[in-house]
Amino acid sequence: MMSLICGKATNYDSVLFLACNDITDTLEGLNSLGIEARAIDYDPKFEEKDFYTCKDFIFDEVDLTADLVIHMNCEKTYMFEKKGDVILIGDDKHHNGDCKPVLSCEQLVYQYGIEEVYEQGHWSERATFLNGISHYWVYGRI
């Protein structure tokens, strides 16, 4: 999935990743290409990391300005307000604390008000204790 995201991200001058966990190598790589890439993640482990803002992008005041916003864990947060190009990714794992498990691409389109879908898809991973986890993604414009 990261290769798909990075492929799309290289078409933009600025990219913002939301709820992405540790993607330091990706951020460094995009910035080395002259793309302003940064991330917002609320986990305190990112307080001292380059390219990261350690805040909650839903409840804290943060700058969501970017040519492309990539939300990597839509199931973990409420919707954010942003106009422009987005990549939305979510899964149906039902983690403890997930706000809204993502069950389809259509759900992401509806919840975020995607006006134009450029691409969408899903993939599954096998889990030993379940039948598997499905991940859904939508690339489009809000």
| Domain 2-141 fold | Rossmann fold (3.40.50)
* Cα dist from 26 to 5, 76, 79, 100, 120, whole Å: 10, 21, 24, 27, 21
The candidate with the shortest Cα–Cα distance to 7, out of 102, 142, 137, is 137
Place of tokens 């307000």: 81
Domain boundaries, the chain: 2-141
Query: What averages of pLDDT result for each successive group of 10 residues across the chain (142 residues)?
Result: 85 96 96 97 93 90 95 86 92 76 94 96 71 88 96
17 three-class SS: strand
Structure tokens at 42: 């609320």
- What pLDDT score does 46 carry? 94
> Model-level pTM?
0.90
